[in-house]
Copies of this chain bind each other. A is one copy, B any other.
């Protein structure tokens, strides 16, 4: 069984609402599992018998059209929660973008446990509300922004979200390494890979960013970038 008290996300995941006793019970229900980059944990439309906490790595939530077009509808980092409590089918696929490790629970058992632990449920509610806000802002981006604005917004949001894991003193992270490639950026922004690439090259030659390697981004002029994000 798991020793949750030493879990790396102990203080950040929804489990942080639990007392040591409760943690012991939940610990018995969960099991750790590694997921290799590219592997899919949950398939869109399938019955999803599990929910999980992310311990390590980055995963994407994907909705696909019948002809293969993909839209990434969420990105999940360590301490985030995966899955759909109180619902049977997974409304999207969950795929690892990097090697990852998750702590998975049987959904029914988790639902029952949650129903008995209001604090846990409130944490989950808060998280879900936050996710919903984020999703809705992303809808604005997808529906109304130009390619340039999309890429700028994306870089700023990534700078924000990646600053959790290791950043410079003032908390504003301007250089970071993306955990995924160009096609994935395109799938997040609702663009093609070519358009995404062109926008990045343009920003580079305009001195807004530098691109030390394929996956590294350094924002050189944050003010102009924010201006550009619209």
Q: Which residues of A contact B (CB under 8 A)?
A: 61, 63-67, 69-71, 73-74, 84-87, 91-92, 115, 118, 121-122, 124-126, 128-129, 131-133, 135-140, 142-145, 189-190, 230
Contacts and interface: CB of A to CB of B under 8 A. Distances in A.
B189 A136 contact: no
A63 B143 CA distance: 11
Contacts of A63: 136-137, 139-140
Contacts of A64: 140
A39 to B, nearest CB: 21
Given A128-B132, A132-B128, A73 B140 contact: yes
Quickly give the copy total for this chain: 2
25 contacts: A63-B136, A65-B140, A67-B230, A69-B144, A71-B139, A73-B136, A73-B137, A73-B140, A84-B129, A85-B125, A86-B122, A86-B125, A87-B133, A91-B136, A91-B137, A92-B136, A118-B118, A121-B122, A124-B125, A128-B132, A132-B132, A135-B136, A135-B139, A143-B190, A144-B190
A136 B136 CA distance: 9
A165 to B, nearest CB: 24
Contacts of A91: 133, 136-137
| Across the A-B interface, the 7 shortest Cβ-Cβ residue pairs | A143-B190, A142-B142, A73-B136, A118-B118, A63-B140, A71-B140, A142-B143
